Amino acid sequence: MMRRIVCFGDSNTYGFSPFDCSRYSKDIRWTGVLDKLLGDKFEVVNEGKNARTIAFDDPYNEGCNGMADIDACIDANAPFDLMIIMLGTNDLKAYFEATPQMIADNLLKMCELVREKTEAKLLLASPMLLGDQIEFSPLRLEFGRQQVQYSFELAPYIEAVAKKVGADFIDIAVVAMSSDVDCLHLVPEEHEKLAQAMQQKVLDVFREELEQEAKEEEEQRQREQEERLEEERRRQEEEDRFREEEQRQTEQAAAEESEMTARQEETIDFEQVVARQSKMAEDLLEAADQEEKVEDLLGAATGRMEETESLLKETMARYTDLEWQGEEDAQQIRLQAEAIMRAAGESTGEFQTEEAFRGEAAAGLGRGEKEKMLSGRLYYSMDPQLRAERAAARKLTKAYNETDVDEDGRRRQILSELFGEMGADCYVEPPFRCDYGGNISAGERFYANFDCVMLDVAKIKIGDHVMLGPGVHIYTACHPIDAAVRNTELEYAKEVCIGDNVWIGGNVTINPGVHIGNNVVIGSGSVVTGDVPDGVVAAGNPCRIIRRISASDKLYWEEKKEEWERG
């Protein structure tokens, strides 16, 4: 089933290039990349337009009011299954004097209009942030410091609209960043990141349908397989019947030939009897010529006839015995065959008793729980092996936390036994807590301040030159939403990855599955629930991108360093 997706947006959907004001080719635009990533079950339609707003008439860009042309867009692309609306950036222009609330109110009206026109699903995308230096860019007459601040506040308002109209939501600011060229438009690398994030979101939107479709396809495949197997079975049965009939005819022909041979032999025997009778008759005639008395001749003839009768009875009895003996042989063969079949049946019944099978199954219940845990599948948390490994980690962390400040060598020795991998010059201030330790890998010059906790049920990967403030908690453990399953002590986990040159402030909580890029600063008290890209300052609950770390930051802190060096 082909699903049609309409992407209704502004210049970043259209594919505007900040380098030369041209349009990116389809294979660079995020809509084109998304179409390729989704495969042949989806068709992605680009309905982007430069300078498009949600509901404002731009005095410098005629025909860019989204409310004025969304009707035509819906009619032109109907029927479709999903509409993605990514608007709001142009509504921030200074001469519109629009607050995030006003922009959200206009977006709500647009969504209500879409709901009236189509039953397609709806996905609202909050646009990426305006660049921190846009007020110094060629776009400074349209966007100032206030508009930059509004761009940081826009996402929660758009998310609220999505909840109100029953639409899905994605925050593009977490995924992609505007270029340093004009602080507004995306470069090709950011189009790629946006397409990848959109792919996952689209698959989530259609997850139930895709799973049902996959299930039906699998059932159809199994039916076809079963039909092929049934056809093969019928063909095999037909071949077996043909061979059996051929064998039966061969055996019947052999039996008829054997019977004919036996009859021929029987005929020969009786011919011999007749010949003997003829010979005896000739002897009798000769004797009659020689005997003078009729009484002697009759007596001799009577005796000969009795002998002939006895010989005939003996011959018939012998053939009767042979026939009986043949039946007995056949019966014996059948009895032996039945005994062999019974023996085979008894041997197949002795493979394994139910008690032995249950015992073996019970013994194998705990096998592979660690492998399941590390692969992100459900696993039994009270598995004996896992409990033993947690207990060993508790002993090592207890020994570590009881060391004195001058026991650097012992601390490093304990950490090397506790962590799975550890680079040079790593230091962790006690007290420190973890689940297993062996699932933690830390790069060179890693530092963790007091009271850090790492629940390393899955892998926790930390790069080089990473600093953790006091009270940082990193979680990988997850629990089923359903209480009945959760109460069986089944759990699962998602790995956490932290790149190089990262500073994480105090009391930050990092949730399962989070990936933090390189050269990142996370403000204290943040709750990080989603991925954080390279080169940004992020903070808040939930954690959001505050600004990009720019070349001006580097210059500022190099000057401060030089001042320090000069004393």
How far apart CA 495 and CA 476 sit, in angstroms, is 6
> Average pLDDT for residues 458-468, to the nearest whole number?
97
Catalytic position from the list 185, 191, 473, 479: 479
The DSSP string of 399-411 is: HHHT--TT-HHHH
For 100, the token pair is 């995030």
Long-range contacts of 334-343, Cβ-Cβ distance < 8 Å, separation of 24 or more: none
d(CA 282, CA 278): 6
Q: Which one, of 541, 545, 503, lies nearest residue 520 by Cα?
A: 503
N- to C-terminal Cα separation, the chain: 71
The H-assigned helical ranges of 291-383 are 294-348, 354-363, 369-374
pLDDT for 63-114, tens place per residue?
999 999 999 999 999 999 999 999 999 999 999 999 999 999 999 999 999 9
Residues 111-152: tens digit of each pLDDT: 999 999 999 999 999 999 999 888 888 888 899 999 999 999
Residues 290, 303: contact at Cβ < 8 Å? no
Q: Print burial letters for 190-202: b (CB count within 10 Å at least 16), e (below 16).
A: bbbbbbbbbbebb
Whether the pTM exceeds 0.75: the reply is no
Q: What is the mean pLDDT of residues 307-325?
A: 46
HEC string of 14-63? HCECCCCCCECCCCCCHHHHHHHHHHHHEEEEEEECCCCECCCCECCECC
Query: Is the pLDDT score of 283 beyond 90?
Result: no
pLDDT of residue 326 exceeding 90 = no
Give the residue-averaged pLDDT of 532-560.
Answer: 89
Task: Quote the CA–CA distance of 566 and 395 in Å, as a whole number.
Answer: 48
Q: 526: burial class by Cβ within 10 Å (0-12, 13-18, 19+)?
A: buried
More confident residue, 51 or 302: 51
Would you state the structure tokens that stand for residue 158, as one six-digit string?
A: 């758009």
The torsion region of residue 427 among left (phi > 0), alpha (psi -120 to 50) and beta comes to beta
> How far is CA 49 from its chain centroid?
38
* Banded pLDDT at 4 (limits 50, 70, 90): very high
Quickly state the pLDDT bin for 328 (edges 50, 70, 90): very low
* CA distances, 161 to each of 102, 104, 310, 337, 515 (Å): 12, 7, 119, 81, 28
pLDDT higher than threshold 70 for residue 424 = yes
Return all residues near 155 (Cβ < 8 A) that are at least 6 apart.
126, 171, 173, 544
Tens of pLDDT, residues 484-533: 989 989 999 999 999 999 999 999 999 999 999 999 999 999 999 999 99
Greater confidence (162 vs 355) lies with 162
pLDDT greater than 60 at residue 360: no
Is residue 473 annotated as part of the catalytic site, yes or no?
Answer: no
Q: Give the relative orientation of helices 294-348 and 207-290 as an angle to the nearest 10 degrees.
A: 160
Pairing between strand 536-539 and 521-522? parallel
Could you tell me the pLDDT band of residue 240, with boundaries at 50, 70 and 90? confident
Beta bridge partners of residue 493, listed in sequence order: 477
- 260 confidence band (pLDDT: 50, 70, 90): confident
Confidence band for 477, pLDDT divided at 50, 70 and 90:
very high
What is the band of 435 on the pLDDT scale with cuts at 50, 70, 90? very high
Amino acid at 346: E
